[in-house]
Structure 1
Amino acid sequence: MTDRGALDALRQAIEVSPDNLPLRRHLAEQLLAAGLLMDAEGQFREALALAPGDAGLATGLAEAFLRQGKNGAAIAALDRVADGPPKAGLILAKALVAEGDVPAARPRYWEAVARDAALADPAFEAALGHSQAPPVPVEEIDAEPPEGRVPSGTGSGVTFDDVAGMDEVKQTLRMKLLLPVQQPDLFAAYGKRAGGGVLLYGPPGCGKTHLARAAAGELGAGFISVGLSDILDMYIGSSERNLHSTFETARRNAPCVLFFDEVDALAARRSDMRHATNRQVVNQFLAELDGVEAGANEGVLVLAATNAPWYLDAAFRRPGRFDRLVFVPPPDAAARAAVLSLLCREVPLAEMDFRKVAGATDGFAGADLKGVVDRAVEAKLQEAMRAGRPLPLATGDLLDAARAARPTAVPEWMATARNYVMHANESGTWDDLLPWIGGKGR
């Protein structure tokens, strides 16, 4: 404990020299160490008034808030911290856990421990649901919100074997992203390095996110899923710093799949933006894709997904960035049958004709097919409860569910795509869509 006499002497010195920042900082830290939290809070506030951008002072204020149970205030205090000390991440993680947001807390904690191993807290790790820090950041993305955290855990457990159909798409991903990592010597002989970007686009619910996770699982690499809430910030400059920090995390953990979902929100056309701050986020994104130094992004495999590729700034399609646009189509009949088979793997089945069901679900996306299976299973569960025993799912059950369902997004998406393919395709960017909208190649 800090001696009370020493604290009184510091207070008296502050009264004489109220604008002495080092002295006020020292007093605030000593009050915090002594457990005089309200007094410490006041001194940190006064010090921040003298130095508003001081990350160390903001971290101290957040700790004072946290120890008083003011978790929301602690989070708010750290919102403005950029490139703060590792302890800031630990404090933020604890505040997030206290607020019930464990998924958001995990990446903050592991990042802090990676920077300063002395911050490791086994008891807190138990609260996070992991006993030790993962060697590579990986995220299981089945649980959607909250999205886009720098993840925790090891191995996604999903590979291309778990992706029905889409053989051409998977082959493109293998050649562009996976093989350069798996066979580096061969690719180096042709001047190719591991890394680069692929943009997956297509109707909602057709498996773009699932493909990204499978690519990471196929490689055995880390998987970082980035959401808008991880990047965009109300304070000027913070969004750019968040984006840089995300790429730095991926670079430290290469080989790593860095996945941006709904990327059109971060990479929209700059000509459509009214505010310079939004254009700066796009500029930062382009700079990170290029890498600040030669080879900086080697081993960082950047995947992005969007339902609206036509809204992306054209600069993102330059070679070395998202130079491969890969159309992820709605599943055809064979793929729908395979998807249904995968979805029913853990369901008790009678003799099942998945092809027949696939024929009744034309225009259904993968997400629609999951809805069909869920509907059929729920109806069968009600029958099983009445019968008092498990009953197998039959072809008729899936057909009944399919007749009651309607495809959600594919028809609308195709109508929009038709406009771009027929009227804004001078460069041939959207030629892959021609067979799907009834157009003709040039």
Structure 2
Amino acid sequence: MLDDAGLQALREAARLSPDNLPLRQHLAGQLLAKGYLGEAEAEYRAALVLAPKDAGIMAGLAEAFVRQSAFGAALAALEPLLAAPGYPPKVGVLAARALLGEGDTARAGYRYHEAISRDPSVGDADLAARLSAPPAPPYGAPAPAASPYGAPAPPGQPYAAPAPPAGQAYAAPAPTPVDGATAEIERSRLNFADVAGMEAVKESLRVKLLLPIQQPDLFAAYGKRAGGGVLLYGPPGAGKTHLARAAAGELGASFVNVGLADILDMYIGSSERNLRATFELARRNRPCVLFFDEVDALAARRSDMRQAHTRQLVNQFLAELDGVDQNANEGVLVLAATNAPWYVDVAFRRPGRLDQPVFVPPPDPAARAAILRLLCRDKPLAEMDFDAVARVTDHFVGADLKGVVDRAVEVKLQQSISAGRPIPLSTPDLLAAAQSVRPTAVREWMATARNYVMHSNDSGAWDELMPWVKGKW
């Protein structure tokens, strides 16, 4: 509740004239100056809807965030301004305060000294005293690239994650929270040994995503950077999410599993901010595997959309994949999964984004036997013939096979309870369970894929599916 008559009058005037941008911006500035930080933030947000690219409004919103200790949100608001050449020196000082609040003293020092080198009048004695900064770089020098631990890389050198000791996984830093990000950092205990079959898919992920971080010197010699994106697609239940977790565990990296609820919001502009905060969370915890499941809901074809704000979310996604500079997403491995790759906007397949679609096929008999072996490895077993079970589970994917094992275990538990002792699981148990389980959606998915491969493949994007849809499917 405002106790200032002048501010109350301004607020009433803004209520009666909600589209008056100068009035709303003046009200936000007055609220900020008098310490009404939450109210100032709300007014700046309202003004930003009227003028989304106004530098003064973005800077005011960022200052409101900084004074509320929402440093991550402040940096997200300042990011478009800092990316533009010749940004106002005051913006640099504000960014320095936010970076210092995040604990990134080195980059805060860079921003502060770069700003006062252009305009000494913006200096802040208290901020300067809190900074332990290197000497100011010459005006116009590029900002130092962030290392995986937040300290800047030496001038002129790109980000390069240190190689792990021989035989050890990469040791990721402790998770760093980011304001506005609802997704959480996880540590995956899986690795590629826990993924049965899919050797071609795993090898593709190794070369594209894992080896550049595990062997940075070798890849740097060829100009290849750590990071990138891969689009995993295939029928439901084929193991795309399981594979993403295993990739993170193989590297020993942070893992962020992004759900639709972490991004989508009913208010215009909030979904874009959530997406930006999620990418910032991954960048501050690199090396990191950032996984988007059902990505077609966030990256749908813009030509199919009727509302501008839904197209804006796709634009924001593309901008985050590109990063504000060439080093922004180094060490961030973006994996996206979808059952409907033909609905994903074609711009995502541009080089540097999700430029390598990787088909995750239904498992063949050898892979089905390996999956069954993994699913049964912690259960009491008699002598098993997993190959026999694999032969009668044609068209089954990993989720279906798990259903077979679960059903067989339920029957065996009932027998064990009656007998008063554990009775080992046997091959006939799995065969009987397989007869009562129907494969889920592989046939339907392949029928849809056949339509796109045969009739909508002028660009050759779905050539990888051709052997599958021309076969017995």
Q: TM-score, normalised by structure 2?
A: 0.66
In the TM superposition, 1:306-385 aligns within 5 A as 306-385=338-417
* Among 171, 174, 185, the residue aligned to 1:135: 174
Q: 1:294 and 2:333 equivalent?
A: no
Structure 2 residue aligned with 1:390: 422
Alignment CA distance shift 1:323-1:17 (3 Å): closer
In structure 1, C-alpha distance between the alignment counterparts of 2:467 and 2:248, rounded to whole Å:
30
In structure 1, C-alpha distance between the alignment counterparts of 2:8 and 2:318, rounded to whole Å:
45
Q: 1:171 and 2:203 equivalent?
A: yes
Structure 2 residue aligned with 1:214: 246
Checking the alignment, whether the CA contact within 8 Å between 1:82 and 1:241 is kept in structure 2 is no
Alignment CA distance shift 1:320-1:116 (3 Å): closer
Checking the alignment, whether the CA contact within 8 Å between 2:41 and 2:64 is kept in structure 1 is no
Q: 1:205 and 2:244 equivalent?
A: no
In structure 1, C-alpha distance between the alignment counterparts of 2:250 and 2:437, rounded to whole Å:
33
In structure 2, C-alpha distance between the alignment counterparts of 1:52 and 1:186, rounded to whole Å:
50
* Among 158, 161, 183, the residue aligned to 1:150: 183
Partner SS state of residue 53, structure 1: helix
What whole-Å deviation, never above 9, does each CA across 1:231-256 have from its counterpart, x for those lacking one? 11111111111111111111111111
Checking the alignment, whether the CA contact within 8 Å between 1:180 and 1:192 is kept in structure 2 is yes
Alignment CA distance shift 1:370-1:294 (3 Å): same
Alignment CA distance shift 1:316-1:192 (3 Å): same
Q: CA deviation at 1:149?
A: 4.9
| Residue type of the alignment partner of 2:327 | G
Q: How many residues are aligned here?
A: 343
Checking the alignment, whether the CA contact within 8 Å between 1:136 and 1:221 is kept in structure 2 is no
In structure 1, C-alpha distance between the alignment counterparts of 2:359 and 2:63, rounded to whole Å:
37
Q: 1:238 and 2:270 equivalent?
A: yes
Checking the alignment, whether the CA contact within 8 Å between 1:317 and 1:323 is kept in structure 2 is yes
Structure 2 residue aligned with 1:259: 291
Structure 1 residue aligned with 2:158: none
Q: CA deviation at 1:52?
A: 3.0
Partner SS state of residue 234, structure 1: coil
Alignment CA distance shift 1:24-1:391 (3 Å): same
| Residue type of the alignment partner of 1:136 | P
Checking the alignment, whether the CA contact within 8 Å between 1:375 and 1:401 is kept in structure 2 is yes
Alignment CA distance shift 1:354-1:17 (3 Å): closer
Structure 2 residue aligned with 1:432: 464
In structure 1, C-alpha distance between the alignment counterparts of 2:311 and 2:416, rounded to whole Å:
57
| Residue type of the alignment partner of 1:365 | V
Q: CA deviation at 1:24?
A: 8.3
Checking the alignment, whether the CA contact within 8 Å between 2:239 and 2:398 is kept in structure 1 is yes
In the TM superposition, 1:105-124 aligns within 5 A as 115=102
Alignment CA distance shift 1:87-1:333 (3 Å): same
Checking the alignment, whether the CA contact within 8 Å between 1:14 and 1:23 is kept in structure 2 is no
Q: CA deviation at 1:434?
A: 1.4
Q: CA deviation at 1:25?
A: 8.6
Q: CA deviation at 1:16?
A: 8.2
Structure 1 residue aligned with 2:442: 410
Structure 2 segments unaligned to the other structure (5+ residues): 11-26, 46-60, 72-100, 105-172
Structure 1 residue aligned with 2:43: 53
In structure 1, C-alpha distance between the alignment counterparts of 2:430 and 2:471, rounded to whole Å:
33
